[in-house]
Amino acid sequence: MKKFFPACVGILLFAGGLPFAQAEQPGSTALSASEASARFKAFAAKIDSAAVAGVPVQSRGRVKPFDSFARETIVFLTGKYSMSGMDAGQIYLALMTSDVAQQAEIVNVRDPELRTELGLSKARRHYSLQELESSRLEELAKPALMRQERNARLSARDKATLELMQQVWLSRGVISGRHLTDGLTFPGAAEHRRSGSMADSLAGSPVIEQAQQYLHALSAGDETLARQSAAAFLAAAKVQPMPELFSKNLGKLGLEVWYNHAHIFFWTAIAYLLLGIALIIPHVRKRLGLKTVLGMTAIPLMAHIAGFAVRVVITGFAPVTNMYGTMVWVAFGLVLFGAFLFLAYRNYAVMGGVLIGAAATLLLTENLPLVLSPDMDPIVAVLRNNFWLTIHVLTITISYAAFTIAMLIGNVALIRGIISGLRGSRSSQALQADEAFYKEYGNLTYRVIQIGVFFLTAGIILGGIWADYSWGRFWGWDPKETWSLIADLGYLSILHAKYLGWLNGFGILAASPVGYLLVVMAWYGVNFILAAGLHSYGFSSGGAAMVGAFVGVQLALLGVALAVQQLRRAQAVTKVKS
């Protein structure tokens, strides 16, 4: 939410009288919201956004294709990259050129309680700019804005209200044309624009003039003229003067457009999922040999690596500069560690479970763009060190993959224990089978946790060296540092207890999900809940309810499993005595 605030302030200040704004045509005000939305969708569907997808736009510290610029904008407004068959580029351009843009149901009001307080229909999630501007939104936002200016703590309602206000401001900016004008005006030209009147600054700018011609062609519905002016717009945008920092990356824009629509990680996840399901089905996995499984795993793994490579080429940095990047990296680590464990233990079920876990991680990552933003904007200057970014962040986050495997195995054991207990089998054979299972998978979990602790400890040490390099001190009790250390000490305690015999097979299997809650705090909690400290490159918001549900379910599962295990032991003792 914070990343849009500076731009939104500018949008609010310059919301009127811009060259791209379309006058509302007679009769459009009489349309209902649903009618206006239908008309808007029909208009947008005719726009060929691919024709201008590669137009260079400067935004948030880097040059990016219009395709990415539009996607980032529209996902913030609507919560999606597409709506009702319209892609982000079509929606963005239609907002600038449709006569019913202000009446189209575009803005996603995400907080249901806020919808009620604003007097909006509970049956909908998307509302028009016109509806929101006629509601009590500005009245509700004023106290929240005042608290924000005083740096006071904001409530969840304050944050939701401010986010919606920013969506409204951004909508105004897109519709008026200011948002795109700012994106098409590179440093240098921007200073000239601010020093004079808007009319003077836009006059004689080839890019702006070509953009105007293109947008007017779209507004008039002239598809032939739109295609011609799109080509001229694209050509003018690519040859306009811009800083070397931006111009040297122009050759990457086509690759970024391709990446946006290739959905590499989504299709990789589907491949992992299908193979994982096959490996946990007994009569299917019997037909798959070791080399076959590894070969089939290698295909999506190569696609996974290719996705990483593309992000590295586009950004110039290791692909772990935000939560999205670390999630994708952890999914890679799951498959990599899973393959090593498969070679060592020949356990098809574990390999299948790991592949399903990797698939779930990638699918979660790809479907929560508001929480796990895939944006590739640069990080703060002090952290732009590829060497330390690579060896520190990659090392720490790869440890999360090992801990995730331990958590998955532990939860399978807990569920198995609950099912066995509910069946009520007290036979010695059943108990022996359970003990054999706990021993085998407990030892496997022990090894996986050792791997995770090795990488986490190494990452913390490397982070201290980087901290000295960047800030002049090895350790500062920053929340990220502190929670990484807490997680490390938690898992070291589990290893210590297992080594001393304080934990048996079931014990370490039950402890591994508990330890993972520390990882959740270090990985997610610091960035999304505390949002404090020097690791500002990763801060975001959202997803708290989902993570809270995970923690609650995890603790409930652990409690039930321990109760069932204790009951079975008591029953076994009673049986022996009798």
The 10s digit of each residue's pLDDT in 149-176 is 988 888 888 989 999 999 999 999 999 9
Q: Percent of the chain at pLDDT above 70? A: 86
d(CA 437, CA 442) in angstroms, rounded, equals 8
Sort strands 56-59 and 126-127 into parallel, antiparallel or unpaired: unpaired
Neighbours of 569 (CB within 10 A): 11
pLDDT for the residue numbered 9: 42
Structure tokens of 7? 């731009």
Highest mean pLDDT among 11-25, 207-221, 529-543: 207-221
Neighbours of 207 (CB within 10 A): 24
The 10s digit of each residue's pLDDT in 402-447 is 999 999 999 999 998 888 877 766 667 777 888 889 999 999 999 9
Among 278-292, 424-438, 451-465, 546-560, the least confident range:
424-438
Higher-confidence position of 94 and 19:
94
d(CA 497, CA 514) in angstroms, rounded, equals 14
pLDDT grade, residue 530 (50/70/90)? Answer: low
What integer is the mean pLDDT of 296-307?
A: 97
Burial 252-282 (b: 16+ CB within 10 A, else e): bbeebbebbeeebbeebbebbbebbebbbee
The 10s digit of each residue's pLDDT in 465-479 is 888 877 788 888 888
d(CA 75, CA 195) in angstroms, rounded, equals 32
Structure tokens of 51? 């024709």
Over 50: is that where the pLDDT of 23 sits? no
Q: DSSP states of 423-447 as a string?
A: HT---HHHHHHHHHHHHHHHHHHHH
pLDDT for the residue numbered 193: 47
Q: Tell me the whole-structure pTM to 2 decimals.
A: 0.88
Contact predicate 572/426, CB 8 Å: yes
